[in-house]
Amino acid sequence: MEKIKNLFFEMNRDYAEMNKGKVDGWFYLSLVAGLVLSPIILIGILYIEIHFFLEWKWIHFREKILEIKRRMSRKKRKFFRELKQFIRENITYKLRERRRIKRIRYVVPAPTISAIENAEPEESSIKTISWKEWKEKVDAEYEDLGHSDQEEYRLGALDAGWEI
């Protein structure tokens, strides 16, 4: 505070020397104007700099946000595409297999040549049998085969067109 007072008195003395000992109102007016206007000018300059800086930053920030949104939407699209592909490849395929196996359950196996030759006339035509009878017959004939071989036999029966 003491330094500010000394500075003020020095300015007053210098001004008085320039004006031959007179200190008039212009000195105080210029002093007040300098003290009042300089912070306003500084605030204005700072406001303009900060405003444009923040606007530039905001534009940059907005671009970053848009870029992140685009990237996330691409990732989301890719994720959903992969999910659809997974569903298509795994779940839908398995459901189709189940439906196909359900259809195969009602397949009547073709009679062998020896069965046709040895059969009586009324038994020689293909007849419809129940699922349980057919399964027992297949299991009895192919009990030494593994489960997958039985499924192959059923699928082969379907491919041959042995549907009821």
Taking the alpha carbons of 64, 65, 68, 74 in that order, is the dihedral positive or negative?
negative
Q: Residue ranges per domain, the chain?
A: 1-100, 105-164
Q: How much of the chain exceeds pLDDT 70, in percent?
A: 52
Kindly state the tokens that stand for 32: 């007040």
Question: What pLDDT shows up at residue 18?
Answer: 65
In angstroms, the CA 64 to CA 118 distance is 84
Q: What is the DSSP letter of 121?
A: G
- Give the count of beta carbons closer than 10 Å to the beta carbon of residue 82: 10
**Is 142 in contact with 113 (CB distance < 8 Å)?**
no
Question: What pLDDT shows up at residue 124?
Answer: 45
- More confident of the two residues 126 and 136: 136
Question: What pLDDT shows up at residue 139?
Answer: 73
Question: What pLDDT shows up at residue 2?
Answer: 74
pLDDT band at 89 (very low <50, low <70, confident <90, very high): confident
Q: What angle do CA 130, 134, 137 make, to 5 degrees?
A: 145
Q: How far apart are the first and last CA of the chain?
A: 110
* Size of the chain in residues: 164
Q: What is the DSSP letter of 88?
A: I
pLDDT band at 135 (very low <50, low <70, confident <90, very high): confident
In one letter, which amino acid is 36? V
Q: What is the pLDDT of residues 64-75, one digit of tens each?
A: 878 888 888 888
**Is 130 in contact with 107 (CB distance < 8 Å)?**
no
